[in-house]
Amino acid sequence: MKTVAVVGTQWGDEGKGKIVDLLAADADVVVRFQGGNNAAHTLVVDGEKFILRLIPAGALHAGKVCVIGNGTVVDPLALCEELAALRARGRFIDDALLKLSCDAHMVMPYHRAVDHAREARAGRRAIGTTGFGIGPAYEDKMARVGLRFDELRNFARFRDKLTRNIADKNSYLRAVLKAKPLKGGEIVDQMKRVRGRMLPYLCDTGAYLAEAVAAGKRVLFEGAHGAMLDIDHGTYPFVTSSNCIASAVFSGAPLAPGRLDAVLGISKAYTTRVGAGPFPSEIKGRLANRLRIEGEEFGSATGRPRRIGWFDAVLARFAARLNGMWGLALTKLDVLTGIDPLRVCVAYQVGARRYDEIPPGRSALERARPLYEELPGWSESLSGARALSDLPPNARRYLERIAELAGVRLVMAGVGAAREATIVFSNPFLA
Ligand code: GDP
Ligand code: IMO
Ligand code: MG
């Protein structure tokens, strides 16, 4: 297959970055199509750890084209920092490999200020956003007052719009959010400085990708966040502000519908969530702490401890349906070593009723009690496993049961953070 999308099936941080990095070896182009630097994708390559926020996770392979599509929102200052950090480590040096959509919207300092002030004001009702201004940037896009990268070409016109936006946001910050207004002149100067850095990357990514696909190139689409954080299908309002399912590829890369060959969903072997909102299979106490430490479950974007839970097959089925998943990659199987028995949430109970699918009216999830099935654990370390036959029988049984419950075939299993610590049953580019 030639065009493959990788998407998260839970609440983000499933290990998408690691799998994209692995598959990028067989791809020509890697594309981000939604979200912004609220994403944090961790790669461990040759013993070195990298966290990519905006730059697609093809950047650590030599010669791969990295595209940031129009459906993303991009903080130009964050992009400059990320590029500089990679270059300081001798990576992703060739400027010609980065293509930034001229239609992508810019995240501005006032978006970050609004994000922070709103969260502070919401107190206990806060969403627990990453604070990077992502929601406010998407709001401006929909309100048709956002600034797109293309507008940097004519700086005088750009400055007028920017100055108007800063004045509007300052009124809102002052009057409604009771927060400190921003210094407009500083923002204009910052953008003036950043402009020259951005212009060489600008590209009509739709035209570029259509040509690449027509030429038979292999294109990998890198999703951010996860199905349960999707603005339409997730646990609204405790979600992010973009569509995170595979259909966003068609509007946000863009790729024409019908041109996507396969969707690979990524799940952890258990579940995590950062920020507030319902989480039916959540566990607390000693076991949660143990998994948090063994799995290093601290947000790569904000350092916050991630909430921990058992694998939730109801969510997995939901994500498989929404994404039309070709296959599932289950990461972090190694983290479950030594836990016996293991539990998997197979259905919910709401009141007296059992639900095998997510109950209608998402607020029902807040009242959903998990119904578990128990599976036997294993005590062997999995970190050296490179084939299914290297896994202890109970680990194999766990994988088989999850695939069965999710209704989708398992194509990869992760047994460590490093690129090579992955058992690949089927590689979509070679399938
Ligand atoms: P993403 O946002 O979906 O790319 O995921 P993150 O990078 O935010 O979080 C996943 C974390 O798990 C990262 O620290 C990865 O290095 C790590 N990771 C990924 N796959 C595995 C795995 O199979 N085993 C272990 N132990 N760690 C993994
Ligand atoms: P990756 O791509 C985990 C969560 C935030 C918060 C909610 C809204 O690394 O999987 P936002 O800043 O987007 O407005 O915050 O969404 N969130 C993520 N959680 N991984 C992510 O991305 C996330 N991106 C957003 O924690 O609950
Ligand atoms: Mg992450």
363 pLDDT above the threshold of 90:
no
Q: Do 357 and 41 touch, CB atoms closer than 8 A?
A: no
In total, how many domains does the chain have? Answer: 2
Evaluate whether 81 touches 217 at the Cβ level (below 8 Å): no
User: For residue 107, what are its two tokens?
Assistant: 């995240």
Give the pLDDT band of residue 268 (cuts 50, 70, 90).
very high
Q: Return the SS3 of 74.
A: strand
Report whether pLDDT(364) > 90: no
pLDDT at 299: 81
How much of the chain, in percent, has pLDDT values that exceed 90?
Answer: 97
Q: How confident is the model at residue 233 (pLDDT cuts 50, 70, 90)?
A: very high
Q: 79-135 pLDDT, tens per residue?
A: 999 999 999 999 999 999 999 999 999 999 999 999 999 999 999 999 999 999 999
Q: Which residue has the tokens 């969530």?
A: 273
Are 242 and 320 in a shared domain? yes
Asked if residue 294 is part of any domain, the answer here is yes
Torsion of CA 245, 249, 252, 258, to 10 degrees: -130
81 and 113 fall within a common domain: no
110 and 90, same domain (yes or no)? no
CATH number of the domain that residue 351 is part of: 3.90.170.10
**Strands 98-101 and 202-203, sheet pairing:** parallel
**Nearest-5° Cα angle at 292, 288 to 293:** 120
Residue 243: band (very low, low, confident or very high) from pLDDT cuts 50, 70, 90: very high
- What number is the average pLDDT over the span 332-345? 98
DSSP letter at 239? S
Which of 201, 230, 245 is the C-terminal boundary of a domain? 201
Q: Which domain holds residue 191?
A: 105-201
CA of 16 to the centre of ligand 1 (A): 7
Burial of 12 (0-12, 13-18, 19+ CB in 10 A): buried
Same domain, 244 and 363: yes
- In sequence order, what are the residues at sequence separation of 6 or more whose Cβ sits closer than 8 angstroms to the Cβ of residue 229? 8, 11, 12, 235, 239, 240, 244
349 shares its domain with 307: yes
Q: Could you tell me if residue 431 is inside a domain?
A: no
**Residue 214 CA from chain centroid, whole number:** 27
DSSP state of 58: T
Question: Probe ligand 1: pick from 34, 37, 60, 332, max atoms within 8 Å of CB?
Answer: 332
At residue 40, φ and ψ (nearest 5 deg) are -145, 110
Last residue of a domain, one of 182, 201, 220: 201
Pocket test for ligand 1, best of 9, 10, 18 (most atoms within 8 A of CB): 18
Closest approach atom of ligand 1 to CA 57:
4
Domain identity same for 315 and 403:
yes
C-alpha 229 to ligand 1 mean position (Å) = 18
Once rounded to an integer, what is the mean pLDDT over residues 247-267? 97
The pLDDT assigned to 421 comes to 98
- Whether residue 59 sits in one domain with residue 183: no
Residue 100 lies in a domain: no
* Residue 260 falls inside a structural domain: yes
369 assigned to some structural domain: yes
Do residue 265 and residue 413 come from a single domain? Answer: yes
Instruction: Show the CA angle centred on residue 134, arms to residues 129 and 138, nearest 5°.
Output: 130
Measured between alpha carbons, how far is residue 73 from residues 28, 206, 239 in Å?
A: 23, 16, 16
Confidence at residue 302, expressed as pLDDT on a 0 to 100 scale: 74
Q: Both 275 and 411 in a single domain?
A: yes
CA 132 to chain CA mean position, Å: 14
Q: Is the shortest distance between the CB of 40 and ligand 1 below 6 Å?
A: yes
Atom of ligand 2 nearest to the CA of 135: 14
Evaluate: CB of 16 within 6 angstroms of ligand 1. Answer: yes
- pLDDT the model gives residue 258: 94
Whether omega before 341 lies within 30 degrees of 0, making that bond cis, reads yes
Q: How far apart are the first and last CA of the chain?
A: 6
Structural domain contains residue 69: yes
Q: Residue 137: which CATH number?
A: 1.10.300.10
- Look at residue 62 and tell me whether its pLDDT is greater than 90: yes
Say if pTM beats, i.e. exceeds, 0.95: yes
> What pLDDT does 300 receive?
74
Q: Does a structural domain hold residue 99? A: no
pLDDT reported for residue 303: 82
Domain for residue 340, yes or no?
A: yes
C-alpha span between 373 and 153 (Å, rounded): 58
pLDDT at 129: 96
Residues 89, 227 share a domain? yes
Please name the residues in contact with 392: beta carbons below 8 A apart, sequence gap of 6 or more.
Answer: 378, 380, 382
Last residue of a domain, one of 167, 201, 235: 201
Pairwise CA distance, residues 234 & 329, whole Å: 20
- φ and ψ at residue 204, rounded to 5 degrees: -85, 95
**29 has a pLDDT exceeding 90:** yes
For residue 5, how many C-alpha atoms fall within 13 Å in the half-sphere facing its CB? 31
Q: What does the pLDDT read at residue 293? A: 96
Closest ligand 1 atom to Cα of 415: 23
Verify that 224 and 192 share a domain, yes or no: no
Residue 333 and residue 366 in one domain: yes
Q: In what order do the strands lie in the sheet with 3-8?
A: 202-203, 98-101, 65-68, 29-32, 219-222, 3-8, 262-268, 327-331, 410-414, 422-424
